[in-house]
Amino acid sequence: MDLQKYKIILDNLLNIKSGEPDIFTHTNNKNHFDLFSILRQDEFDEVIYNEKFEVSLLNGNLTDFINELRKTKTIEDLIYLNDKILKEKILKQNNIDTNNDFTDEQFKLLNKLELIQQKTINVWKLLNVTINDIIDLRNIWPLHIGFLFLSVRVEEKVVYAPLFFKEAYITFKNGLPYLTCDSEIKINEKLMFFLNNNGFYLNFENLLNNQIINDVVKMLQRDWKNLYTLPNNIYSNFINLNKEEINNLNIIFHPGVVLGIYNPSGGYARARMKEIIENNELDDIIQVEFNKTKYKNAIDKYLYNPEFSLFNLTKSNLSQDKAVISALCQNTIIQGPPGTGKSQTIVNLLSNILIYGKTAIVASQKKAALEVIQERLGKLSAFCLFNLNTKEKKKNFYKPIKEYLKMLEHFNSKTTIEKSPFINKFEINYLNNINNFLDLEDTDKVFKSYYYLSKYKTEPNYYENAILLSSIPKDLKFTTSKIDYDTLTYDLLNINNIRFKPFFPKYWKIRKISKNLKNHFDGFSGSLAKVVKLFQDVNIKNTSKNNPFIKVNDSINTYQKIDYNQFLVKPEIIEKLVCERIVNKVNNFSIEQMRLYKEFAQSVRVENLPPTKFIKKYSEMIKNIFPILVATPDSDLSVWNKNEFDYGILDEASQIFIEYGLPILYLSKIKVLSGDNEQMKPTNWFSSRSSDETIFGTVDSLLDYVSSLGVYEILLDKNYRSNSASLMTFSSKYFYNSQLDVVNLCNNKEKKPIEVIEVQGQWLDNKNIIEKDKAIEIVSQNLDKYNKIILLSLNAKQKEYILEEIYKNHLNLQKAIESKQLLLRNLENIQGDEADLVVITVAYDKYTKFSSAYVSRYGGKNSLNVAISRAKEKMIVVKTIKSNELTISDNSTEDLKIFKTWLEFLELGETEKTELLLKNVNNQNIKELKKEKKHIWFKSLVIEEFEKEINNPNIFQIKEDYNIGSLNIDLVILKNKTPYKCIIFDTFEYGSTPIEEYVKIRDKYRYLCAKKYDTYIINPISWVEFQNQINNWFELSEEELIEIQENTSKNQYLLEDNFQYKESENNNEYTDKTFIKENDKSNYLLDDVNIEIIIPEEQVIDNKETKIKETEQSNIDDLVSGEINSILLSQTQEIDFIEINQTNTNKSDLVQNFKEQPNHQLVDNKNEENYWSSLNIDVKNSTKINENEIYDDTSNWMITGNEFEEDWEEDKK
């Protein structure tokens, strides 16, 4: 084994950095505090002698001095008390002026002490914010009480740190800080790892069963009496030492009890990683195939197999479904750019794991990521054992286990689950039938004939009607008017000039046709001549196989079973299924297993063990009844072995160091990593790392390492977070090669999603005061408008400065931080968060030395990508520096270049930002245009039908290829200028990959629906029935009608008693007052006079030219019809004055006028004629008979003798 290959991993595991507080502690009254010096003796004793305690964090001596000061009555008492205060070093200096008034001197001293106390409260509040930031970033609990400090020097490595810790929490009551604790004592794992690897072995057998600090110290003093010397004054002031002061080569113990930020865990990962390396198993943890096509083939094998079910708990898109299927069958990397639904994908993966009876471990360094998974699993989270760090760790750990056991022990139900394939048999059969369907001969004619039949006949039987109509001889004439079935026979005989010629075969032929039409074609309201012509034009083959009517009819029947919406499995079904499986397992336990279960359940109910000890003691029972374990890379997983889990899932894998992630993957058979290599790299809050030129020394994140091995990757390609496409425009282009679909939320109200505020700030002493003030002002103004806000600084020092300012002077923002409505973040800790509003302070100016700025260092661009993609609704950027003030040289990093490009993007106008996004859309459109669309007739037909239905063009408009971000929608109907109905056209041009092309259309439909667009897929088959629904789209409510009339009345222009034209050399005309109404059926004529109208600001007028052909008086009622378009007049001459018409028309009358308009659900003559012409049918020619044509086929029209007599009697009448 080549240990040199893994040296850097071993160094990062074993070479504990002396800068870490877990290895070398130094108090600073910011992150680390000497408890002995800030607590009164009685409060300190509470900490030392009790397992659980709650003590005030206000300086006890200071509080006593304040109380005593308030009671002083004389100047002598005041001087005495002042001396005590100076002796305790609470104040560095303070003089009592005996010549001044006693009350004044007392007041001055009291003010100084109270100011110190108030600042102390802020110190604890700021520490609490830091604690929460670390939890969010690293998913570890950082606040500990450290005790029993030891020191030792090993060559150049120096240790001065506590051997034991006890987790502690800061709480606030009435604004005052308290230190509380109810947790167990634990070992400083980092320190122990260091000592063990340097030959020091300390024995703690059964020691940690005690949870009281003094009990542990007393036992060690007894057990180590002849080995180590523990100081007698172990509970005294902590002494800050420098590394140079520690030269002892043996272990020496020191006094002190320190409260501070520590990260003592990680011993498991270190031990497991060392074990893996020593067993030469590291390179075998992740297996990869040379032939990468096997990965895609494995996905397709299941994705398009109707026998395989994909059980999704949450809605998903195509890329997410591919990711889940890939993860179920092979090692997979799920690349999830910001807002693309990584968590939803993991939840769907877990729901399938539960249903298929598998096991999994899920881990993440980010607490928020695991909490999101827990929330979205809902009741299915009961099957997961969550081992997370919270303030109420013990309570939160046991409570769900109790509920879970109660559910199992009272379960008495059985269930089955319905199949849920990604694509079902009906869809596959449908695709096989309709692929390139319109290429078949006469298919378009069949559809057109069906459209007409569906439009004018109630409940048509398409195939029977088609056979009837297509078999009518072509030499017969038919009336173009509506059918009167009572006189149908008479009309047909009369129009064919054979009414009185019963001895001709044609006479009886017509009578037979008439009878068939009466019996089988009732309820038809269109033109018989037209419908017959349509069906006769179809070329019917002799064989049923080639009969186009049969093909279309079969397709219509199949299509009725197609549902574009996604099937989601109900969590209740999964819950019952998994419960039944686990209950059956428990029922089959051996006697010994049942005994263990009883003990396990009892321990859960009495909560007698700390979570870590509980998991270790009852690991076998946990493995039996919990299919899923949720943990962190720092969790102790020593009770699980290699490949014990079916799946290992690491979320935010780009944030996990290699040496902490591999031990988790080692425990699973199939490895799944979710993350984004364009987002933040892993960071270490507590120390630095070693690096070299090897792969392990160059690649920090587990995601990058696994990606370098060639594991199959799937990109989640649809953004759901951002309500405006422009919020993701920059990231999509410069980080994801414009591969992301980013679209606007339908009817998004935010008109300016990115707002840039330039200020005259200055970056001085690691802060920008002007930007700080402006950012705080913006947040304060928007606190009531947004549910969640992030205030983000690109510099950590600026963020700390803002935080301190808020806790000094902005109580409302302080409360917002404590309630989690407001998050303060910097580039290093922003990942995983999102908010409705993000306010960014850039902080830097043109004089900044960017070589030391985080944004310009390696990984800076990734953090910038994360920072600018957090906003759901709006992002406001406050900046001092301009893009042209940032100089780029040959030595500049790629990270700094991206930062400059971002500044340039911010300075673009709204139109330019949009064009940046549209460049990619246009490139996609060019690719689409290269694919020849052969069947544009269908799209044109549908658009024409929509145009006919619109009778309020001021309200409804039709737009083709409507852009909503990175996507265009084929057809959008706007209502009041906002998307109302969206159409995706499908003309069955799938080519050689019908299933893939079909699911792309379906995927686009689902994505648009998720973005709140009312979307429909229209194809030649669906249009047969769908066309009859569209008239309902354009109906208006009474309220809308009243509003239209009111707006119409306000915006009508009444010309003054005379048109006043400018004088010209040739003409001075004076015309009567006339209303100008656009699009009026009578069309006004002003004898080729072009006029210019002076238009008030509130009147919107389309900038188009029209010719007004005739002039006549019109009345107000005509204008109520709702058919008013914009006034279209060219602007070459002026009308000096236009009077706005005022009307006293009653609102109820107006509504009635609208109600009396033609009911467009019925097809009137005008629309019917338009419809006919849209099909390009020559109606007149269709009824003419070629006199030279002789029809001699009467075999289909022979009648019986009885029928002859009946018809003869009827004809005689």
pLDDT at 1074: 34
pLDDT at 1052: 55
Cα 166 from Cα 216, distance rounded (Å): 12
Asked if 987 and 1047 count as a contact pair (C-beta separation under 8 A), the reply is no
pLDDT at 319: 97
- Cβ count within 10 A of residue 483: 22
Q: What are phi and psi of 714, to 5 degrees?
A: -130, 130
Distance set, CA 800 to CA 367, 805, 859 (Å): 22, 9, 21
Cα angle 1079, 1083, 1086; round to 5: 120
Task: Give pTM, 2 decimals.
Answer: 0.79
Asked if 582 and 386 count as a contact pair (C-beta separation under 8 A), the reply is no
Please state, for a pLDDT cut of 70, what percent of the chain lies above it.
81
pLDDT at 124: 93
Cα 469 from Cα 466, distance rounded (Å): 5
With a cut of 60, say whether residue 1135 has pLDDT above it.
no
pLDDT at 1093: 32
Average pLDDT, stretch 895-921?
A: 84
With a cut of 70, say whether residue 1069 has pLDDT above it.
no
Average pLDDT, stretch 1183-1210?
A: 42
**Rounded mean pLDDT of the chain?**
82
With a cut of 90, say whether residue 518 has pLDDT above it.
no
Average pLDDT, stretch 402-417?
A: 92
pLDDT at 520: 84
Which comes out higher in pLDDT, residue 101 or 1191? 101
For the segment 850-869, what is each residue's pLDDT rounded down to a tens digit?
988 999 988 899 999 999 99
Collapse the DSSP code of 103 into the 3-class scheme (helix H, G, I; strand E, B; otherwise coil) and give the result: helix
DSSP 879: E
Tokens matching residue 146: 């450290």
Average pLDDT, stretch 244-253?
A: 93
Average pLDDT, stretch 1000-1016?
A: 97
Q: How confident is the model at residue 922 (pLDDT cuts 50, 70, 90)?
A: low
Burial of 200 (0-12, 13-18, 19+ CB in 10 A): middle
Average pLDDT, stretch 751-763?
A: 95
Choice among 619-628, 888-897, 1174-1183 with the minimum mean pLDDT? 1174-1183
For the segment 46-104, what is each residue's pLDDT rounded down to a tens digit?
999 999 999 999 887 888 888 888 888 888 888 888 888 888 778 888 888 888 888 88
pLDDT at 1115: 34
With a cut of 80, say whether residue 1079 has pLDDT above it.
no
pLDDT at 275: 87
With a cut of 90, say whether residue 440 has pLDDT above it.
no
Distance set, CA 1157 to CA 709, 945, 976 (Å): 70, 19, 21
With a cut of 80, say whether residue 266 has pLDDT above it.
no
Which of these, 632, 782, 9, 701, lies nearest to 335 by C-alpha position? 701
With a cut of 90, say whether residue 815 has pLDDT above it.
yes
For the segment 155-198, what is each residue's pLDDT rounded down to a tens digit?
888 999 999 999 999 999 988 899 999 888 888 988 888 888 88
DSSP 1010: H
pLDDT at 135: 82
- Cβ count within 10 A of residue 218: 13
pLDDT at 106: 87
Which comes out higher in pLDDT, residue 467 or 150? 150
For the segment 957-982, what is each residue's pLDDT rounded down to a tens digit?
999 999 999 999 999 999 999 999 99
Q: How confident is the model at residue 1206 (pLDDT cuts 50, 70, 90)?
A: low
> Which domains are assigned to the chain?
21-262 (no CATH), 270-420+568-684+693-718 (3.40.50.300), 425-560 (no CATH), 721-910 (3.40.50.300), 934-1038 (3.40.960)
Which comes out higher in pLDDT, residue 1203 or 116? 116
User: In whole angstroms, how large is the CA radius of gyration of the chain?
Assistant: 41
Q: How confident is the model at residue 692 (pLDDT cuts 50, 70, 90)?
A: low
With a cut of 60, say whether residue 384 has pLDDT above it.
yes
- The separation between CA 189 and the C-alpha centre of its own chain, rounded to angstroms, equals 39
Tokens matching residue 443: 């298919």
Asked if 179 and 168 count as a contact pair (C-beta separation under 8 A), the reply is yes
Which comes out higher in pLDDT, residue 995 or 18? 995
Cα 331 from Cα 669, distance rounded (Å): 9
Average pLDDT, stretch 680-695?
A: 65
For the segment 319-375, what is each residue's pLDDT rounded down to a tens digit?
999 999 999 999 999 999 999 999 999 999 999 999 999 999 999 988 888 989 999
With a cut of 70, say whether residue 1141 has pLDDT above it.
no
Cα 639 from Cα 667, distance rounded (Å): 10
For the segment 119-135, what is each residue's pLDDT rounded down to a tens digit?
888 899 999 999 988 88
DSSP 538: S
> What type of residue sits at position 126?
L
> How does 1196-1207 read in b/e, with b if 16+ C-beta sit within 10 Å?
ebeeeeeeeeeb
| Antiparallel, parallel or unpaired: β 185-187 and 53-56 | unpaired
The stretches of 155-256 forming alpha helices (DSSP H) are 189-197, 213-223
Asked if 440 and 551 count as a contact pair (C-beta separation under 8 A), the reply is yes
DSSP 726: G
Tokens matching residue 1069: 């005309």
Asked if 254 and 149 count as a contact pair (C-beta separation under 8 A), the reply is yes
Cα 813 from Cα 795, distance rounded (Å): 20
What is the per-residue DSSP string for 1103-1128?
-------------GGGGGGS------
Cα 49 from Cα 468, distance rounded (Å): 99
Which comes out higher in pLDDT, residue 763 or 858? 763
Q: How confident is the model at residue 483 (pLDDT cuts 50, 70, 90)?
A: confident
Which of these, 778, 1181, 719, 775, lies nearest to 967 by C-alpha position? 719
Which of these, 752, 569, 641, lies nearest to 281 by C-alpha position? 641
Cα 506 from Cα 477, distance rounded (Å): 12
pLDDT at 390: 59
Cα 472 from Cα 1196, distance rounded (Å): 10
Which comes out higher in pLDDT, residue 742 or 1120? 742
Which stretches does DSSP call E strand in 182-317?
Answer: 185-187, 252-261
Q: How confident is the model at residue 382 (pLDDT cuts 50, 70, 90)?
A: very high
pLDDT at 906: 95
pLDDT at 380: 96
For the segment 619-652, what is each residue's pLDDT rounded down to a tens digit?
999 999 999 999 988 888 999 999 999 999 999 9
pLDDT at 1144: 42
Which comes out higher in pLDDT, residue 1024 or 1155? 1024
